[in-house]
Amino acid sequence: MDKCFSRSGEGKDSASTEAVGACPVLIFTRAGRSYLRSEVVGMKLESYAFRIFSPVMYPEKLRDIHSEEASIFASTVDFSGDGKDAWIFDIDETLLSNLPYYIDHGFGVEVFDHSEFDKWVERGVAPAIAPSLKLYQRVIDLGYRVFLLTGRKESHRLVTVENLINAGFQNWDKLILRAPDEQHKLATLYKSEKRDEMVKGGYRIRGNSGDQWSDLLGSSMSQRSFKLPNPMYYIP
């Protein structure tokens, strides 16, 4: 498959008109930063982004497929009966949408500012992604043990819990955030280690939903992984 259509954020780095037309999402996220000095290109990128991320198109329509397919799979799993069948959800761009933040920050064209994003997280107002909320509730109703595994800082635990509850997410079994000594780790390693701990604890990871390949790949992978689209950024 042409990398242009990969959902992980890898792909062509060209900023040509042809490339933008063929692969607007990836050109917008990858090449946009390199060519930000060009006001004309920057305006075109934001124009494409506005169309891609409009409320009508994103995230509901793109993520309906994920929710439906994951729900079908979740319903077919033969439970062991020992309460150890688990489902993992990432949070940002999986359960909660940071689209309001990115609307104000160039849809990912701007260089990422950790302090500004932290201020947004600390407001605790990220809305639920509707199809993911539907899937989440279905998974809960089916009796899975639900783990929320996020790259957010441990210091953001309280505001994250409040944001999740206010957005409609409740009754998870464990919320896992990055400890201070884990901040340096690549996401793939960090999340693999957390899944390893679950497996060592006797859990069978039946499903895993995330917007980054680093949410899904590595060790102790789930029986079935579900990749949501995220054209705004890529986390290794």
Q: What pLDDT, on the 0 to 100 scale, is given for residue 171?
A: 98
- If DSSP codes are grouped into helix, strand and coil, which group holds residue 193? helix
Q: Which two tokens stand for residue 153?
A: 């800082």
- Do strands 145-153 and 174-178 pair parallel, antiparallel, or not at all (unpaired)? parallel
CA atoms within 13 A on the CB side of 49: 27
161-192 residue pLDDT tens = 999 999 999 999 999 999 999 999 999 999 99
Q: Given a cut of 60, is residue 211 above it in pLDDT?
A: yes
196-206 residue pLDDT tens = 999 999 999 99
Longest C-alpha distance within the chain, in Å?
60
Q: Given a cut of 90, is residue 230 above it in pLDDT?
A: no
Q: Given a cut of 90, is residue 208 above it in pLDDT?
A: yes
Q: Which residue has the tokens 């198109």?
A: 57
Backbone region of residue 145 per phi and psi (left: phi > 0; alpha: psi in -120 to 50; beta: other values): beta
Q: Hey, where are the domains in the chain?
A: 3-52, 60-227
Close Cβ partners of 154 (under 8 Å, ≥ 6 residues apart): 177, 178, 179, 180
Question: For residues 22 and 206, which has the higher predicted lDDT (pLDDT)?
Answer: 206
CATH superfamily of 60-227: HAD superfamily/HAD-like (3.40.50.1000)
Q: Which two tokens stand for residue 164?
A: 């999740």
31-61 residue pLDDT tens = 333 333 334 344 445 555 555 555 444 545 6
84-110 residue pLDDT tens = 999 999 999 999 999 999 888 877 677
Q: What pLDDT, on the 0 to 100 scale, is given for residue 32?
A: 34
Q: Which residue has the tokens 């995330």?
A: 210
- The conformation of residue 45, written as its DSSP 8-state character, comes to H
112-159 residue pLDDT tens = 788 999 999 999 999 999 999 999 999 999 999 999 999 999 999 999
Nearest to 26 by CA among 49, 43, 47, 42: 49
